[in-house]
């Protein structure tokens, strides 16, 4: 789901809190972790991603000042911050240095795998080693933190509460099945391969989420549509109406948040066949290579076993939530919340 642009929440009526989660984008992962830990999740973002380096620098500078102002008002004892961008950790580190607060970095896979952010490894390592804790998404990412000698734990994610999604609709005779491809149109997403697979599945409707670049509209087969960026409630309803969820990546060492949304709703899931995804999503899932023919076969297989996979996903969801709660309890103890 495209995070969109979020406005800075009002702060005056809440002068202090034991913890706060800062992100420079609207992220469901941050919101879910913050909710479970009993703290606010604040998205501080101005303008859209992209543009010239000078514009990005200007935007980051504004967000850094706003972050400092938020922290000065709230005076939290513990600050969680999402990276990338690593620059979001700068005002958090400065606040902690002056106030004596602790900070936690939630490092997404891009920190370790995207060429753009790898250029800032020294800065990322600096903040990671001075944090009270760094959260990694998976074991591959955690290995880098271990080499940096940073204090870390692994928290793949926790299935969110998708309010307004509604119950699944049985696949009645005459109703075409619907697949939702959870996409943000990043470089590691094989969008064109999925659209080619859709052409081989004329019996299926496919909704592609996220804000698509203009060229994608020209590639759509008749049975696929672009949803654009949707408000949370509309996006949740779309997922709730799906017969299966698709999330894809070409990048190793990466987990996909679309998979968490499928788990939350007990939906059959089609994922890219990577060692990381196969290790973390063992139930309710069909894995396929990022090639049109393989994706088409995987989607047909998932639809044919929809009830079986959905039931397996519901069982997996309960176990996954229990494991997530235990990991959050460990995080709470280690950071002193």
List domains and CATH numbers for the chain. Answer: 19-155 (3.40.50.2000), 178-319 (3.40.50.2000)
Judge contact between 255 and 224, C-beta under 8 A.
no
Joined together, the tokens standing for residue 38 give 């009993």
Collapsing DSSP to helix, strand or coil, 136 comes out as strand
Judge contact between 12 and 2, C-beta under 8 A.
no
Positions in the chain whose pLDDT score sits under 50: 1-15
**pLDDT number for residue 7:** 40
**pLDDT number for residue 255:** 87
**pLDDT number for residue 158:** 80
Return the half-sphere exposure (C-beta side, CA atoms, 13 A cut-off) of residue 254: 21
Edge-to-edge strands, sheet with 41-43: 41-43, 19-23, 78-83, 102-107, 133-136, 152-154
Distance CA 19, CA 35 (A): 11
**pLDDT number for residue 168:** 58
Distance CA 16, CA 21 (A): 13
Judge contact between 22 and 70, C-beta under 8 A.
yes
**pLDDT number for residue 169:** 54
């Amino acid at each position: 789901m495209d995070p969109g642009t979020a406005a800075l929440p009002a702060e005056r009526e809440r002068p202090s809190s034991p913890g706060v989660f800062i992100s420079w984008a609207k992220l469901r992962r941050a919101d879910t972790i913050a909710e479970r830990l009993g703290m606010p999740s604040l998205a501080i973002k101005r303008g859209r991603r992209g543009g010239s380096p000078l514009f990005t620098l200007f935007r980051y500078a504004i967000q850094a000042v706003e972050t400092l102002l938020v922290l000065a008002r709230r005076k939290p004892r513990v600050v969680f911050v999402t990276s990338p961008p690593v620059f979001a950790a700068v005002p958090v580190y400065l606040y902690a240095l002056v106030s004596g607060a602790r900070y936690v970095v939630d490092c997404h896979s891009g920190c370790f795998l995207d060429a753009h952010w790898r250029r800032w490894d020294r800065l990322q390592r600096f903040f990671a080693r001075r944090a009270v804790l760094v959260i990694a998404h998976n074991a591959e990412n955690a290995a880098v933190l271990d080499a940096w000698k940073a204090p870390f734990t692994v928290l793949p994610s926790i299935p969110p509460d998708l309010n307004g999604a509604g119950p699944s609709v049985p696949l009645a005779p005459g109703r075409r099945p619907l697949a939702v491809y959870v996409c943000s149109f990043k470089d590691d997403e094989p969008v064109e391969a999925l659209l080619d697979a859709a052409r081989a599945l004329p019996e299926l409707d496919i909704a592609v989420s996220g804000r698509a670049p203009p060229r994608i509209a020209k590639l759509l087969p008749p049975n696929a549509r672009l949803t654009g960026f949707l408000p949370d409630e509309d996006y949740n309803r779309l997922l709730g109406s799906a017969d299966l969820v698709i999330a894809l990546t070409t990048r190793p060492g990466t987990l996909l948040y679309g998979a968490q949304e499928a788990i939350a709703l007990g939906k059959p899931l089609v994922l890219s066949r990577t060692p990381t995804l196969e290790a973390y999503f063992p139930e309710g899932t069909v894995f396929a290579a990022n090639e049109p023919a393989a994706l088409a076969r995987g989607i047909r297989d998932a639809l044919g076993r929809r009830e079986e996979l959905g039931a397996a996903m519901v069982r997996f969801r309960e176990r996954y939530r229990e494991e997530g709660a235990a990991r959050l309890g460990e995080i709470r103890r280690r950071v002193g919340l």
